[in-house]
Structure 1
Amino acid sequence: MLVVIDMQARLLPHLDGAARLTARAVTLLRAANLLDLPVIVTEQNPQGLGGTADALLDDVRRATVIEKHTFDATLAPAFLDALPPAPATVWVAGAEAHVCVLLTVLGLLRLGYRVELVADAVASRRADDRAVALERARQDGARLTTVETAIFGWLGSFGHPRFRDVLALVK
């Protein structure tokens, strides 16, 4: 399962590397859609931060979108209900790395999930906050990965029937 945290219209412009984050998240979402991987997208207080950014909307249509008011998404009952049973692997991307992403990663780990934090698809307003969040997540048991590593892991081999379609996303 892929979880994309709080990629919201009013938050993204304030993030360090927002354009890169958006591009990497779109690539993940498109690959997940092609490979029928379940996706959860969270929105933190959408009344205040707006909904999911327009750049992601086409790729979010097949996702389960969950409004939350807690920084750790695992404290939201609807989020828990949408997760597969532990110890499934959950890939996590989004914003902000040191707040909602990190706290959700820690919550997933506490619940017994294997967490792959997609390091090149997370951002914070300050680069230092992102760096500390990645290190903290790693120290607490999350595995760091990249968009391409996640996608090729989902494919498994070049013999996958969607290989060429997915390959086009990363070229």
Structure 2
Amino acid sequence: MAKLGRLSTKDAVLFLCDMQEKFRPNIFQFTNIVNNASRLLQASRILGITPILTEQYPKGLGPTVPELGAGNLTAHAKTSFTMITEEVEKELQALGNPTQVILCGIEAHACIACTTFDLIEKGIEVHIVADAVSSRSQTDRLFALSRLKQSGAYLTTTEAVLLQLVQDAKHPNFKEIQKLLAHPSPDTGLLAFFSAL
């Protein structure tokens, strides 16, 4: 039977990849990408899903942008193009080795791609939130999403993740999640991806 990729709060961790100040002027749809990632982070807190935050060479690229709302998280500094550093590996082990990662951030063709490959090689399901990842170039972003789908990652959206995690309007936290869905996600240019398929 084919794997469905059904998300579960007990099996998932949220990865927030490198949403830093120096990237702000150069990343396609940066503001909307961070806004969607922020909603995912808020939902993770409501639903008890652990978030893991990285920063790429923070000395040169600056800190995580404040609007993500991750000020209380400890950022794992890195120079590699994967989030799977020794520190992050230890954190995953301490969490009991979650089987699903919800992945958002930048850049799609670099750190998102390398992280996805590493996770899939470890047998971990990767759910890439397509409207919460980007690159400097829309071409790199769209081809990265296509490539990662070929490699076995699940492509999804912010709203789909939030609804799949609660699965029922009777969920005890549904009303809090519903507030995060009050406004639809902004268009982040993904229609071009689907018209190219």
TM-score, normalised on structure 1? 0.93
Partner of 1:125: 136
Displaced runs of 4+ in structure 1, greater than 6 A? none
Other-structure match for 1:37:
49
| Inter-partner Cα distance in structure 2 for 1:10 and 1:39 | 22
Aligned length: 168
Contact preservation (8 Å) 1:29, 1:60: no
**Pair 52,87 (structure 1): closer, same or farther in 2 beyond 3 Å:** closer
Q: Which residue of 1 aligns with 2:155?
A: 144
Tell me the amino acid that sits aligned with residue 77 of structure 2: E
Please state whether the residue corresponding to 1:160 is helix, strand or coil. coil
| Cα distance in structure 1, aligned partners of 2:162 and 2:74 | 20
CA distance in structure 2 between the partners assigned to 1:153 and 1:3 by the alignment: 17
Distance (whole Å) between structure 2 residues aligned to residue 71 and residue 143 of structure 1: 20
The equivalent residue for 2:63 is 51
- Please report how far the alpha carbon of residue 81 of structure 1 lies from its aligned counterpart in structure 2 after TM superposition: 1.1
Q: Name the residue aligned to 2:25.
A: 13
- Deviation (angstroms), 1:11: 1.0
RMSD (Å) for aligned C-alpha atoms? 1.3
Is the contact made by 1:86 and 1:112 (CA closer than 8 Å) also made in structure 2? no
Deviation at 1:66, TM superposition (A): 1.1
- SS in structure 2 opposite 1:152? helix
CA distance in 2, matches of 1:37, 1:65: 17
Aligned pairs (5 A) from 1:1-171: 1-56=13-68, 58-61=69-72, 63-74=73-84, 76-83=85-92, 84-86=95-97, 88-171=99-182
Q: 1:67 to 1:6 in 2, by over 3 A?
A: same
Q: How far off is 1:64 after superposition?
A: 4.6
Flag structure 1 segments of 5+ consecutive residues without an equivalent: none
Structure (1 or 2) with the larger CA radius of gyration = 2
- 8 A Cα contact 1:116 1:144, kept in partner: yes
Question: 1:37 Cα deviation (Å)?
Answer: 0.6
Percent identity between matched residues is: 35
Unaligned runs of 5+ in 2: 1-12, 183-197
Deviations 1:101-134 (A, max 9, x none): 1110111111110111111100100100000110
Q: Any idea what the Cα deviations from partners look like across 1:138-162, whole Å, max 9, x if unmatched?
A: 0001010111111111112111111
The Cα shift of 1:59 comes to 3.9
- TM-score of the superposition, structure 2-length normalised? 0.81
